[in-house]
Amino acid sequence: MKKKQRLLRSVARDAFALVKLNLVFFICCLPLISIPAALTAMTKVNILLQREEPVSVVSDFFQTFRDEFFDSLLCGLVLVGGTLLFGYVFWFYQTMAVEGNAAVTLLRAMTALPLVLCYCAACYLWVMNAVVELSFGPRLRNALSLTVVSLRSTLFCLAAGLLFGSLATLGMPYASPFFIVAGFSLWNYCCTFYTLPAVDQYILEEDQP
């Protein structure tokens, strides 16, 4: 069975759990400082769902949320902060775009590369936060390496980010109910479905303490 077909079947199987997970995640993100820990917890629950292991969405979410709060906060300051920063700078140059202005076009292109790199590396990093016992430095280096080594998974995560990001920016306010009910957990589920096998394959056992 093709991977995309397996993904669709998995989403259909776990649809109710994804709704519950999304609501818990959305509530926990209201204090902005908790967003990184909530991302790690959501990723952990999605991994358990995809591995078809016993899972209690609420209990496992909050257990991971508590255990990984400060470690995830450091990850968030580096990669989520970088993604938001470069995203804002890219939007800023977008508003300045004038046809034929080569300087602004160049600045936008220079901003887009680190933006894409931060976002794609984050997709791998949250999986490693949930399943790999490594210090922050090796995790970050592995996340950056996997964006190149596992290019197919990276491209899928990028496509998912563009799809959900476009829906969030262009579809508002009409898309608000979707993101409150299932949008975040569905995005994370799809990205994790592709990045988890890459982490399992390339993060060597001897790298772990």
pLDDT for the residue numbered 13: 95
Specify the range with the lowest mean pLDDT, choosing from 11-25, 58-72, 90-104.
90-104
Do 19 and 55 contact (CB within 8 A), yes or no? no
Specify the range with the lowest mean pLDDT, choosing from 64-68, 191-195, 204-208.
204-208
User: Is the pLDDT confidence value at 200 over 60?
Assistant: yes
Helix ranges, 132-175 (H): 136-149, 151-170
Taking only the tens place, the pLDDT of each residue in 5-40 is: 899 999 999 999 999 999 999 999 988 889 999 999
Phi, psi for 134 (deg, rounded to 5): -135, 155
Peptide bond into 173 cis (omega under 30): yes
Distances (CA, A) of 160 to 29, 67, 91, 155: 21, 28, 19, 9
Selection from 147, 136, 137 nearest residue 199 by Cα: 147
Do 28 and 65 contact (CB within 8 A), yes or no? yes
Query: What pLDDT band is residue 114 in, cutting at 50, 70 and 90?
Result: confident
* 80 CB-contact burial (10 Å; exposed 0-12 / middle 13-18 / buried 19+): buried
Q: Which residue has the higher pLDDT, 154 or 209?
A: 154
Tokens of 193: 């479905």
pLDDT above 90 as % of the chain = 52
Tokens of 99: 């046809």
Tokens 């989403």 locate to: 11
Domain ranges of the chain: 3-202
pLDDT for the residue numbered 201: 87
Taking only the tens place, the pLDDT of each residue in 153-193 is: 999 999 999 999 888 888 878 888 999 999 999 999 999 99
pLDDT for the residue numbered 169: 81
Name the most confidently modeled range: 77-81, 95-99, 161-165, 190-194.
190-194
Residue 21 CA to residue 57 CA, distance in Å, equals 6
Query: What pLDDT band is residue 115 in, cutting at 50, 70 and 90?
Result: confident
Residue 176 CA to residue 171 CA, distance in Å, equals 8
* 168 CB-contact burial (10 Å; exposed 0-12 / middle 13-18 / buried 19+): middle
User: Is the pLDDT confidence value at 106 over 80?
Assistant: no
Selection from 198, 161, 188, 200 nearest residue 43 by Cα: 188
